[in-house]
Amino acid sequence: MDTHATDAARPVLEASDIARVLTRITHEIVERAKGADDVVLLGIPTRGVFLARRIAAKLEEITGRKVPVGSLDITMYRDDLRMKPARAMGRTEIPVDTLDGLLVVLVDDVLFSGRTIRAALDALGDLGRPRAVQLAVLVDRGHRELPIRADYVGKNLPTSLRETVKVQLDEEDGRDAVLLGQGPAATNGH
């Protein structure tokens, strides 16, 4: 997520839009996973975890089955550790005994360069061998630096490198919104 959004940021998704796209993503997961019987959701901290929990709740409504949901900390797998100040370690919480043979759906808020997802795939590789790994994101803003694409996208939001995308979620920010603003030119990152 870009954190340099300015006061002039304009909303591109409001709370009702976010709820609607998460419902659509959930239905797409059920359809592609043929019922979601072997699905595990892993959110990438911070906002990806909240989104994963929301999707899990919707999956339970649709399928009547509780879907395991956890978090995947990627801090030590990032390729920019040398270039950025130290950051606090998050927590990895795997809600099942093994990921082997399961369908893991990684959940994040914004897909940008693809480097965060590459780090997540590296972290996941140390935890087991899933049958398949899919990616669900709330916003895909383009500008990929790696050959990574999301399987489930809430909103494609083509941006310039000078624009910022800020996701706000009620659990962390007190409201649900996706804001588009102007900021310094983006560099390698999210």
Average pLDDT per 10 consecutive residues for the chain, totaling 190 residues: 59 98 98 94 97 98 96 88 62 92 98 96 95 98 96 97 96 97 64
Spans of all domains in the chain = 15-80+89-160
Distances (CA, A) of 161 to 43, 92, 140, 158, 188: 25, 31, 13, 10, 10
DSSP character for 75?
G
pLDDT at 1: 47
Q: What is the pTM of this model?
A: 0.90
pLDDT at 79: 78
pLDDT at 87: 56
Close Cβ partners of 75 (under 8 Å, ≥ 6 residues apart): 81, 87, 88, 89, 90
pLDDT at 6: 43
Q: 15-80+89-160 maps to which CATH number? A: 3.40.50.2020
Task: Give the span between the Cα atoms of 110 and 93, in whole angstroms.
Answer: 21
pLDDT at 78: 82
pLDDT at 82: 63
- The bridge status of strand 39-43 relative to strand 103-111 is parallel
